[in-house]
Structure 1
Amino acid sequence: MCGRYATTVDPGRLAAELDAIDETDVPEPAAAGADAVSAPDYNVAPTNQVLTVVERHDRDHPGDDPRLRLRRMRWGLVPSWTKPGEPGLPAKGKPLFNARADKAATTASFRDAVKKRRCLVPMDGWYEWLTEPAGAGKTVKQPYYMSDADGGTLFMAGLWSVWRDPATPDRPPLLSCTILTTDAVGEELTRIHDRMPLPMPREHWSAWLDPDHPAPASLLATPDPAVVSSIVARPVPTLVNSVRNNGPELLGRVDEQSGQLGLL
């Protein structure tokens, strides 16, 4: 599962690097309980507004080639058929912040998005918790942080949806997304958790993001361990356990033997 991650990428810089259109300032209705996000964010949690990369045609010039676009979306996919709740907002339900890649195409909440609304979710790294012995017969849930060894941005496969309230047709639609997960691969990652976000290598972006054609089924398959060979895992402070904590100290290095916080 991927239920918490960190991202420090600046949308403007990322847009320039990807030659993408920055649409992160487009107004959207705030979902109940959602928090506005500002980079950097070291403790991204479900219902936050998060950065995504999509490829879409221009609404005013649909015949033009599609362009990469950066958009903010609510993390926790809201299917288009979700009933309204409070005025202008969808009914509350369990946040669909993860979707199994091997089942998404046949799951009612995700199958439409698999066909035509696929995205990338950029992140610095993600967190998982591993139950470890704490002495005297006790155990502790130790948080680990998985990231690129060289500090590069990771791009995970995601799906997105557009929800509109029929009672307020003039209100901007709610954009929401989910992160696809797959079986963990590689000795280090499988030791910590049996699932991981689905990485999307850059050479597959064109096929994955293509708004006019389905993505090859092979892109939803468990990746080769080589795809995650640059990802390393390390224990981090339990500060990350609370979504109220947010800062670079969450990524402080913890000595695996002493359990003491050290320097980055």
Structure 2
Amino acid sequence: MCGRLNQNQLLSLEKKELKMERRLKKAKEDKKSGLLVLNNICPTDYADVLRLEDGVLCGERMRFGLVPGWAKGTKAEAGKKFVHTFNARCESIFELASFRGPILRQRCLVPVRGWHEWPDRKTPYFIHRTDDAPVLLAGIWDVWESPFPEDVESGPVITSMSVVTTPPGRYMAKFHDRSPLILDDEAALAWLQPGLKAEDLRALFTPSESEYLEAYRVSTAANQARNKSEEVLQPIAPPVPQHGTEPLAPLPAEDPVHPLLPGLSS
């Protein structure tokens, strides 16, 4: 599961530092896409995403939680119905109606400085690279447009994405039974190429075993979706060591636990 993202505005791809050049906003895009959120990006927030457009790498902001182009109803109805599509499991991505079109035709990369996991559903850990390089997560995207007049003022178009997940590698298994699909530079560029077949994509569905991944405990302030401050990234305990295979044991309830919100359930 990968339900809370954190970003910065620099991306390292093929050992080059690239500024995120944002694509021009669609005239009818959801007005919420204009809000810049970098910390504690939750489902229904917007995040910066990379994709290929006519062979050129470009960035645009997409809703975290895919709304398929065929969804029916008003914007509020479609958004509510698809609030749990922020992750797409690699095992079923070619079968589920929401994902089977985008996985073959509309793939993207979600560059993050890290993400949060909750091993005991109460205690947040922040996962990142020890060298603080961006982590490239595999994503899929789609565009939906409301036909209803009441959605015109707030923007009837939603461009949205989901993060693809796999079973966890050894280190990630300490924190959850799912992991985002992490792609290195070569695999990341391959992911974006058009015309890939299902077998080509399945070959990329490999759990990450990177020795550069590191997780440390952060304040339960990260549990609150409205908290977008750097506080959600600050360590309050030493990093969890790479060695060992057992999931983390639950911690005693010392801090007040904030209510769980969408994004904390798999």
Same fold (TM over 0.5): yes
1:104 is matched with which residue?
93
Q: Paired residue for 1:52, among 49, 54, 57?
A: 49
* Structure with the larger strand share: 1
SS in 1 for 2:169: coil
Q: CA contact under 8 A between 2:10 and 2:18: conserved in structure 1?
A: no
Matched ranges for 1:20-39 at <5 A? 22-23=22-23, 25-30=25-30, 34=32, 36-38=34-36
Partner deviation per Cα, 1:112-132 (whole Å, 9 max, x = no partner): 00111000001110101122x
SS in 2 for 1:130: coil
2:263 is matched with which residue?
none
- Compared CA separation, residues 255 and 53, structure 1 to 2 (3 A): same
Deviation at 1:10, TM superposition (A): 5.1
1:177 is matched with which residue?
161
Q: Paired residue for 1:195, among 151, 175, 178?
A: 178
Structure whose alpha-carbon radius of gyration is higher: 1
Distance in 2 of aligned mates of 1:210 and 1:223? 21
Deviation at 1:255, TM superposition (A): 2.6
Aligned-residue identity in percent? 32
Q: CA contact under 8 A between 1:85 and 1:92: conserved in structure 2?
A: no
**Count of matched residue pairs:** 234
Q: CA contact under 8 A between 2:74 and 2:147: conserved in structure 1?
A: no
SS in 2 for 1:141: coil
- Compared CA separation, residues 35 and 243, structure 1 to 2 (3 A): farther
Distance in 2 of aligned mates of 1:44 and 1:212? 31
- Could you say what the CA RMSD is over the residues aligned between the two structures, in angstroms? 3.1
1:43 is matched with which residue?
40
2:113 is matched with which residue?
124
Partner deviation per Cα, 1:119-155 (whole Å, 9 max, x = no partner): 0001110101122xxxxxxxx8211010000111111
Distance in 2 of aligned mates of 1:147 and 1:5? 11
Q: CA contact under 8 A between 1:121 and 1:179: conserved in structure 2?
A: yes
Deviation at 1:167, TM superposition (A): 5.7
- Compared CA separation, residues 86 and 203, structure 1 to 2 (3 A): closer
- Compared CA separation, residues 44 and 20, structure 1 to 2 (3 A): closer
- Segments of structure 1 that go 5 or more residues without pairing to the other structure are 58-65, 132-139
Distance in 2 of aligned mates of 1:28 and 1:208? 29
- Compared CA separation, residues 56 and 78, structure 1 to 2 (3 A): same
